[in-house]
Structure 1
């Protein structure tokens, strides 16, 4: 942490670009999938686009730079417009995290190929450092969003996925108290001792996924 930023200030350009790309593609995946399944709510609101302006939340973006935690604009979804509401709702909710996972894997492949075929051999140390820094953050943020969003607490995607598998009567009872779930989630995120023993270990899986995918890419190529 440098000064009042959560991240090293000299690396902010790479961090900002990575966050913009990760958040944009995550929300686009939600909107695009819902649109293809028959719900044009997000489409009418201009969310089926890769334009970051349509997806980024200014306050959420500032928070992630200053506090290491932030958010994008949620994608509006009307499940009643799906031909199979429960199944398609699960797929739409999972589309965001899955898109981040795939981006992380593809980034590993691209970075590996850049070095495997010597495409950066003639680059200066500064250019090589910039490439490694960007890909490092981009891969990290993608796997982080994948893991983080699967936590089954509102307002995360994992909560929406789990809810679709519950009996309707239990689902309605839980949704009546969803606001408490949001409060619990915020407490876990912003109170360091709680974060360290709850969300912290879960987010630690990000490093394991990164190492696993890296080894897999090396083996495949």
Structure 2
């Protein structure tokens, strides 16, 4: 049973993770010549421009979810496949970067301002950093699963010949069924949880090394 306080932390973490993820997609696509996301107002950290309500619920409950995909038009790219790969990578990479920043700031506070962490404001800040680090890492990992419509499918399928690539990238009914099956059966909860734990430990190790722990 979630407490009101933990729900507040989760909502903040979800908003940050989801907004950073989708904004990164749009920014990289824009940098590669595609104005679609900008024209539709998606180059924004405003969560209401990115929220997918089912994905939000899954993210809050399971730690893995999705947001409303940022529209891209690969026709603007010099090379469509390459553009899609970089645009798809951008969201998860942004999530991992956000997670590392949160973990680094947590340990920086722990080392340089331990008394602050004992205050009510410090307690709120440190818990927000912890929740955001966990949620953002999970969100990034989840989106790398190679099943449409997740980012991982766009990256993996780019190695296929063009005729098969565009067939897979558009998705198929069995892929949608597989996606729903994986979400609601929880079959991926354990392996994804292990990946998240390992990545968090790696980020902690790097942060401690930099801070001289």
| TM-score relative to the length of structure 2 | 0.89
Match of 1:129 in 2: 123
Q: Give unmatched runs, 5+ long, in structure 1.
A: none
- Does 2:69 match 1:74? yes
User: 1:30 and 1:126 mapped to 2: Cα distance?
Assistant: 36
Once the two structures are TM-superposed, the CA of residue 61 in structure 1 deviates from its matched residue by: 2.5
User: 2:88 and 2:117 mapped to 1: Cα distance?
Assistant: 41
Once the two structures are TM-superposed, the CA of residue 106 in structure 1 deviates from its matched residue by: 1.2
Q: Is the 8 A contact 1:39 1:77 kept in 2?
A: yes
Query: Structure 1 residues 9, 187: closer, same or farther in 2, change over 3 A?
Result: farther
- Does 2:140 match 1:152? no
Match of 2:36 in 1: 41
Task: Kindly indicate whether structure 1 or structure 2 has the higher relative contact order, using CA contacts under 8 Å at least 6 residues apart.
Answer: 2
Q: Give unmatched runs, 5+ long, in structure 2.
A: none
| TM-score relative to the length of structure 1 | 0.86
Q: Is the 8 A contact 2:144 2:151 kept in 1?
A: yes
Which region of structure 1 is more displaced relative to structure 2, 69-78 or 18-27? Answer: 69-78
Match of 1:208 in 2: 198
Number of residues of Structure 1 aligned to a counterpart in Structure 2: 211
Match of 2:11 in 1: 16
Q: Is the 8 A contact 1:188 1:199 kept in 2?
A: no
Over aligned residues, Cα RMSD in angstroms? 2.1
Within 5 Å, which residues of 2 pair with 1:62-211?
Answer: 62-65=57-60, 69-118=64-113, 120-122=114-116, 124-175=118-169, 178-192=172-186, 195=187, 198-211=188-201
Q: Is the 8 A contact 1:18 1:134 kept in 2?
A: yes
Q: Is the 8 A contact 2:63 2:139 kept in 1?
A: no
